[in-house]
Protein backbone atom coordinates (compact mmCIF):
# COMPACT_ATOMS: atom_id res chain seq x y z
CA UNK A 1 0.00 0.00 0.00
CA UNK A 2 1.16 3.54 -0.71
CA UNK A 3 2.55 5.61 2.12
CA UNK A 4 2.81 9.13 0.70
CA UNK A 5 -0.28 11.29 0.32
CA UNK A 6 0.23 11.75 -3.41
CA UNK A 7 0.66 8.01 -3.95
CA UNK A 8 -2.61 7.35 -2.09
CA UNK A 9 -4.39 9.85 -4.33
CA UNK A 10 -2.85 8.29 -7.43
CA UNK A 11 -4.14 4.89 -6.32
CA UNK A 12 -7.67 6.27 -5.85
CA UNK A 13 -7.55 7.88 -9.27
CA UNK A 14 -6.29 4.77 -11.00
CA UNK A 15 -9.05 2.66 -9.43
CA UNK A 16 -11.71 5.09 -10.68
CA UNK A 17 -10.19 5.23 -14.14
CA UNK A 18 -9.88 1.45 -14.34
CA UNK A 19 -13.59 1.04 -13.63
CA UNK A 20 -14.50 3.69 -16.20
CA UNK A 21 -12.20 2.15 -18.82
CA UNK A 22 -13.58 -1.35 -18.24
CA UNK A 23 -17.14 -0.07 -18.69
CA UNK A 24 -16.24 1.51 -22.01
CA UNK A 25 -14.37 -1.57 -23.19
CA UNK A 26 -17.09 -4.04 -22.23
CA UNK A 27 -19.80 -1.83 -23.75
CA UNK A 28 -18.00 -1.92 -27.09
CA UNK A 29 -17.34 -5.66 -26.86
CA UNK A 30 -20.94 -6.48 -25.92
CA UNK A 31 -22.45 -4.59 -28.86
CA UNK A 32 -20.03 -6.19 -31.30
CA UNK A 33 -20.82 -9.64 -29.88
CA UNK A 34 -24.57 -9.03 -30.23
CA UNK A 35 -24.13 -8.02 -33.86
CA UNK A 36 -21.99 -11.08 -34.62
CA UNK A 37 -24.55 -13.34 -32.98
CA UNK A 38 -27.41 -11.79 -34.97
CA UNK A 39 -25.47 -12.14 -38.21
CA UNK A 40 -24.76 -15.79 -37.42
CA UNK A 41 -28.50 -16.40 -36.96
CA UNK A 42 -29.27 -14.59 -40.26
CA UNK A 43 -31.02 -11.64 -38.59
CA UNK A 44 -29.29 -9.05 -40.74
CA UNK A 45 -31.88 -6.26 -40.33
CA UNK A 46 -31.72 -6.40 -36.53
CA UNK A 47 -27.93 -6.42 -36.66
CA UNK A 48 -27.90 -3.35 -38.92
CA UNK A 49 -29.90 -1.44 -36.32
CA UNK A 50 -27.14 -2.06 -33.75
CA UNK A 51 -24.31 -0.84 -35.98
CA UNK A 52 -24.60 2.83 -34.91
CA UNK A 53 -24.38 1.75 -31.26
CA UNK A 54 -21.26 -0.26 -32.00
CA UNK A 55 -19.67 2.66 -33.86
CA UNK A 56 -20.51 5.01 -31.01
CA UNK A 57 -19.06 2.68 -28.37
CA UNK A 58 -15.87 2.06 -30.36
CA UNK A 59 -15.39 5.74 -31.18
CA UNK A 60 -15.93 6.78 -27.59
CA UNK A 61 -13.49 4.22 -26.25
CA UNK A 62 -10.92 5.37 -28.84
CA UNK A 63 -11.53 9.01 -27.98
CA UNK A 64 -10.96 8.45 -24.27
CA UNK A 65 -7.86 6.35 -24.87
CA UNK A 66 -9.21 2.98 -23.79
CA UNK A 67 -8.34 1.54 -27.18
CA UNK A 68 -6.25 3.10 -29.93
CA UNK A 69 -7.77 4.94 -32.88
CA UNK A 70 -6.59 2.40 -35.44
CA UNK A 71 -7.89 -0.47 -33.32
CA UNK A 72 -11.35 1.09 -33.34
CA UNK A 73 -11.13 1.59 -37.11
CA UNK A 74 -10.03 -1.99 -37.63
CA UNK A 75 -12.89 -3.36 -35.51
CA UNK A 76 -15.45 -1.22 -37.38
CA UNK A 77 -14.03 -2.31 -40.71
CA UNK A 78 -14.16 -6.00 -39.84
CA UNK A 79 -17.68 -5.59 -38.50
CA UNK A 80 -18.88 -4.16 -41.81
CA UNK A 81 -16.99 -6.86 -43.67
CA UNK A 82 -19.19 -9.45 -41.92
CA UNK A 83 -22.28 -7.86 -43.44
CA UNK A 84 -20.89 -8.18 -46.95
CA UNK A 85 -19.91 -11.81 -46.45
CA UNK A 86 -23.22 -12.93 -44.94
CA UNK A 87 -25.61 -11.01 -47.20
34's CB contacts (< 8 A; 6+ apart) are: 47, 50
Query: Please, which pLDDT band fits residue 85 given cuts at 50, 70 and 90?
Result: confident
Write b or e for each residue in 26-44: b if 16 or more Cβ atoms lie within 10 A of its Cβ, otherwise e.
ebbeebbeebeebbeeeee
Residues counted in the chain = 87
As for how many domains the chain has, the answer is: 1
CA 48 to chain centre: 17
Q: What is the CATH number of the domain that holds 35?
A: 1.20.58.110
84 pLDDT tier (thresholds 50, 70, 90): confident
Parent domain of 49 = 5-86
Query: 38-83, pLDDT tens digit by residue?
Result: 999 999 999 999 999 999 999 999 999 999 999 999 999 999 999 9
What's the pTM?
0.87
Cβ 32 vs Cβ 79: under 8 Å: yes
Question: Which pLDDT score, from 0 to 100, does residue 87 have?
Answer: 61
Amino acid sequence: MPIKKSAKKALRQSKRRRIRNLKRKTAAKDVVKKIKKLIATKKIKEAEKLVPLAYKALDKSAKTGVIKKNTASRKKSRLMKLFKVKS
